[in-house]
Amino acid sequence: MKKLIFLVFIVSIHYSVHVRAQDTTVNDAHNLVSAQDITEAAEQYIRGQLNENNGRIEVAAHRLDPRAPERHCEQPLTVELANNQNLDRQATVQVACADNINNWRMYVPVRIARLQQVLVATRTLSNGHVISANDFEMREVDTQQLRGSTYTDLSTIIGARLKRRVQASEALQARDMCFVCRGEQVTIISAIGNLRIEATGRAQQDAVLGETISVINTRSERRIQGRVSGTGQVTINQ
């Protein structure tokens, strides 16, 4: 009888130790923080700070070494910018744990790309090329690659002339073309009430739609100011 009681006592101790060991393993598993957890926390934080009203935003954290040992943290991670920064192309995010047992922090570089739909060339186009409907299409472009005004309406650029070579997949910008080009013949439209008078002139500078330029009336040789209203067209409102 004593042997039986002793055997039951030993089994109970073994079971208790085994359960505690299992509990510890489970708790540790819940508190482990992997490299992926850290990078995802940094990306999620940056996304929450940005406004996507003006286009789509891509956020990509620098990938930490997945072979690095996992860290422990018994509290939710704290995430913030490492210093006072403008969220432009890149930011550094501090991901930290500050519970009663663990106290660590990591700095994660995050790349930010703001994307907008603009017209880009479907093929390489040479200097002097007159734009047609098949030359451009809408695609997403990183706004950091843009240095001037871009276009989103194909119908507004048809007939314009390129002033430089435009590579395939390159975004079209205002500086790349002219609706009225210097030295070229233009139609001068003079609108007086319901009366419309047309004359011929020479453009004195390059311009795009809406810009005001000087033209010389080829008949009177008089220099006048007008607004570019179309390809090869300048309107004077009187």
Query: In this predicted model, which residue has the larger pLDDT, 130 or 69?
Result: 130
At residue 54 the predicted structure's pLDDT band, cuts being 50, 70 and 90, is low
Query: How far is 88 from 17, CA to CA, in rounded Å?
Result: 54
Q: What percent of the chain has a predicted confidence (pLDDT) above 70?
A: 86
Specify if 8 maps to a domain.
no
Structural domain count of the chain: 3
Does pLDDT of 97 surpass 50? yes
Q: What pLDDT sits at residue 25? A: 31
Sign of the dihedral through C-alpha 45, 49, 53, 55? negative
Residues in the chain: 238
Specify if 13 maps to a domain.
no
Sign of the dihedral through C-alpha 78, 43, 94, 48? negative
Same domain (yes/no): 224, 190: yes
Same domain (yes/no): 75, 101: yes
**Tell me: the pLDDT tens digits for 101-153?**
888 999 999 999 989 999 999 999 999 999 999 999 999 999 888 888 899 99
Same domain (yes/no): 123, 162: yes
From the centroid of its chain, how far is CA 169?
16
* Domain closes at, from 160, 178, 196: 178
- Residue type for position 61: A
Burial of residue 178, with CB atoms counted within 10 A of its CB: 0-12 exposed, 13-18 middle, 19 or more buried: buried
* Domain closes at, from 71, 92, 114: 114
* Domain closes at, from 82, 114, 146: 114
Mean pLDDT computed over every residue of the chain: 84
**Tell me: the pLDDT tens digits for 190-225?**
988 788 889 999 999 999 999 999 999 999 999 999
Same domain (yes/no): 172, 207: no
Same domain (yes/no): 94, 109: yes
Specify if 128 maps to a domain.
yes
- Residue type for position 37: D
**Tell me: the pLDDT tens digits for 160-179?**
999 999 999 999 999 999 99
At residue 238 the predicted structure's pLDDT band, cuts being 50, 70 and 90, is low
Q: What pLDDT sits at residue 84? A: 74
Specify if 7 maps to a domain.
no
Specify if 25 maps to a domain.
no
Strands 161-162 and 177-178: antiparallel
Q: Is the pTM of this model over 0.85?
A: no
Same domain (yes/no): 42, 88: yes
Query: How far is 31 from 60, CA to CA, in rounded Å?
Result: 25
Averaged pLDDT, 64-81:
87
Please count the helices (runs of H) and the strands (runs of E) in the chain.
Answer: 2, 14
Specify if 1 maps to a domain.
no
Query: How far is 15 from 23, CA to CA, in rounded Å?
Result: 12
Q: What pLDDT sits at residue 152? A: 93
Q: What pLDDT sits at residue 30? A: 54
Q: What pLDDT sits at residue 98? A: 82
Neighbouring residues of 212: CB distance < 8 A, sequence distance ≥ 6: 225, 226, 227, 228
Q: What pLDDT sits at residue 101? A: 84
- CATH number of the domain encompassing residue 146: 3.90.1210.10
Q: What pLDDT sits at residue 28? A: 42
Same domain (yes/no): 41, 93: yes
Query: How far is 89 from 110, CA to CA, in rounded Å?
Result: 9
Domain that holds residue 222: 185-237
Q: What pLDDT sits at residue 7? A: 39
